[in-house]
């Protein structure tokens, strides 16, 4: 009887695929969760498939979400089977696994692939937001396909530019700031084609055609919402903080990342040093750093985020792509770099390979003093996959759309954290005092924790929403709200909306800066109920 050739089996593609599937399944089970913010999108998705339109509150057209592509992709599946827990976890798993498939196609060898893969699976930022219910896993897939095409050798005289523009266009629809990852490579390919005199009318026509996903979305957004940008843009940029304060917050976000998910600042320098000693180039890492610069600058200038690691995920994935493109990796490098990764994961219990219990033991669920938090640990007891059968888990409630609180006849609510609560209160109007989904409050300056800029409630606003009539007491704000109502609640093809669109988008109505009468009674009630933190 012939002996098994174990070496041949281990070297086979099927074995490699099985091993990736096993490792990713284990890490997925341990780390899959759903964030509160994801349910802002899921509430919109539920409204959309049930005939109420792409809107947060049914009464008005407001884009409270930043990830249109995710909602549009999930909508036909959710229409057939309305279990958001299943579709979120399943789609994230499929997109994550597909991203690894293209990562393998980009890699120059099996060794480089496993180096890049193990680096990514050691990163809390990358793994945490592969799930979470947000758009990151879908964007990983877009990103890796883009760079697969970018690094692929050209065949014949056909330009890569149309295909790259198409992917960048989908990226723009998926999340507007995501486009920054692709700006420099797109410019490089454009100038390469320009030098080769490929920029012809035919190629330009193809580029315009491939830009249609983004063009069509922005046209729809302008017509339907009366805004080119999501409402979240106004809620997060219309703040009292000075430019220096925003930069300081962005710097704090960098510092927090270095402590919280230090794989990049520890492992990548080791790779560069080892290859320098062995007289090998680390050009792919340098190229990835250059490509990341627009996005890294953006993180700084917007003041980072409150979700630990979230804004760094696309940059970290780009470094993973760089690692799989490292050529001529010798046994010495394998031993050194492999040992570094193993030690990193053994010494740090917070890495994704460990169970959640181990991760939590070294990472208390507390807010950082600058307002940044580990969102996964905060929400994992309620939405973590591996703890689905524990007390406190609400996954079954979310899957069946059955609230975990008593039913209520109240029609208008004031909330600080609106995601999960909003998903259960689908027919009710929710006043979001952070203003992610509130068209009026987002135009008023907010202050507070990063990503949670609270607005004070105008006197008569609550009554306006209860009655459907404008009962705001401040005359100037009342007039402003009338105009805003026409934009968000009026007939879509009302000719007056065109003029208002321009004024709210670019003109005098873009922000409301006048003082206004505040609803003191409800403000005190919000504080007493603990719906927001003291600033």
pLDDT band at 348 (very low <50, low <70, confident <90, very high): confident
> Which pLDDT score is estimated for 77?
97
> Which pLDDT score is estimated for 105?
95
The predicted model scores a pTM of: 0.94
pLDDT digits (tens, 9 = 90+) for 128-159: 999 999 999 999 999 999 999 999 987 777 88
Nearest to 164 by CA among 137, 177, 183, 140: 183
Mean pLDDT along residues 277-296: 94
pLDDT band at 416 (very low <50, low <70, confident <90, very high): confident
Q: What is the 3-state secondary structure (H, E, C) of 372-437?
A: CECHHHHHHHHHCCCCCCCCCCCHHHHHHCCCCCCCCCCCEEEECCCHHHHHHCCCCEEEECCCCC
Mean pLDDT along residues 33-54: 95
Mean pLDDT along residues 490-505: 93
pLDDT at 451 over 70: yes
Mean pLDDT along residues 223-236: 94
Contact 164, 185 (CB under 8 A): yes
pLDDT digits (tens, 9 = 90+) for 145-197: 999 999 998 777 788 999 999 999 999 999 999 999 999 999 999 999 999 88
Query: In angstroms, how far is CA 20 from the centroid of its own chain?
Result: 24
Between these two residues, 36 and 364, which has the higher pLDDT value? 36
Radius of gyration of the chain (CA): 25
pLDDT digits (tens, 9 = 90+) for 94-131: 999 999 999 999 999 999 999 999 999 999 999 999 99
pLDDT band at 532 (very low <50, low <70, confident <90, very high): very low
Other Cβ atoms less than 10 A from the Cβ of 151: the count is 16
Mean pLDDT along residues 351-376: 77
pLDDT at 85 over 50: yes
């Amino acid at each position: 009887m012939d002996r098994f050739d174990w070496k041949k089996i281990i070297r086979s593609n099927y074995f490699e695929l099985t091993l990736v599937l096993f490792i990713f399944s284990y890490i997925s089970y341990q780390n899959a969760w759903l964030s509160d913010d994801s349910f802002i999108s899921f509430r919109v998705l539920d409204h959309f498939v049930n005939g109420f339109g792409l809107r947060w509150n049914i009464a008005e057209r407001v884009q409270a979400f930043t990830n249109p592509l995710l909602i549009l992709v999930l909508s036909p599946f959710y229409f057939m089977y309305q279990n958001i827990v299943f579709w979120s976890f399943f789609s994230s798993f499929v997109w994550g696994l597909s991203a690894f498939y293209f990562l393998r196609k980009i890699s120059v060898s099996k060794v480089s692939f496993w180096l890049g893969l193990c680096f990514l699976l050691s990163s809390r930022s990358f793994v945490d937001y592969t799930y979470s219910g947000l758009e990151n896993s879908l964007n990983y897939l877009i990103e890796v396909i883009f760079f697969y095409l970018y690094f692929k050798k050209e065949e014949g005289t056909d330009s890569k530019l149309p295909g790259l523009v198409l992917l960048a266009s989908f990226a723009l629809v998926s999340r507007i700031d995501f486009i920054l990852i692709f700006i420099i490579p797109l410019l490089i390919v454009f100038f390469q084609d320009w030098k080769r005199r490929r920029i012809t009318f035919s190629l330009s026509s193809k580029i315009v055609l491939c830009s249609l996903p983004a063009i069509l979305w922005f046209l729809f957004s302008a017509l339907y919402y009366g805004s080119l940008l999501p409402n979240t843009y106004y809620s997060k940029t219309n703040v009292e903080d000075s430019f220096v304060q925003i930069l300081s917050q962005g710097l704090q976000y960098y510092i927090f990342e270095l402590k919280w998910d230090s794989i990049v600042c520890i492992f990548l320098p080791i790779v560069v040093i080892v290859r320098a000693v062995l007289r090998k180039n680390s050009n792919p890492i340098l190229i990835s750093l250059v490509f990341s610069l627009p996005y890294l600058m953006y993180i700084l200038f917007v003041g980072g985020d409150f979700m630990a690691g979230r804004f760094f995920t696309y940059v970290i994935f780009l470094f993973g792509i760089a690692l799989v493109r490292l050529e001529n990796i010798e046994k010495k490098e394998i031993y050194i770099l492999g040992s570094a990764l193993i030690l990193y994961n053994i010494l740090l219990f917070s890495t994704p390979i460990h169970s959640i219990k181990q991760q939590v033991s070294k990472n208390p669920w507390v807010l950082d003093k600058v307002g940044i938090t580990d969102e996964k640990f905060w929400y994992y007891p309620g939405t973590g996959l591996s703890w689905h059968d524990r007390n406190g888990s609400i996954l079954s409630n979310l899957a069946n759309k059955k609230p975990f609180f008593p039913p209520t006849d109240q029609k208008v609510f004031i909330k600080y954290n609106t995601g999960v609560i909003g998903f259960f209160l689908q027919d009710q109007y929710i006043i979001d005092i952070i203003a992610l989904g509130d068209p009026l409050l987002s135009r008023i300056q907010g202050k507070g924790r990063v990503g949670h800029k609270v607005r004070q409630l105008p006197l008569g606003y609550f009554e306006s929403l209860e009655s459907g009539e404008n009962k705001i007491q401040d005359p100037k704000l009342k007039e402003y709200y009338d105009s805003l109502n026409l934009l968000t609640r009026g007939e879509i093809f009302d000719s007056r909306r065109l003029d208002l669109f321009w004024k709210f988008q670019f003109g005098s109505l873009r922000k409301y800066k006048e003082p206004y009468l505040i609803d003191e009674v409800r403000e005190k009630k919000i504080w007493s109920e603990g719906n927001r933190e003291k600033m």
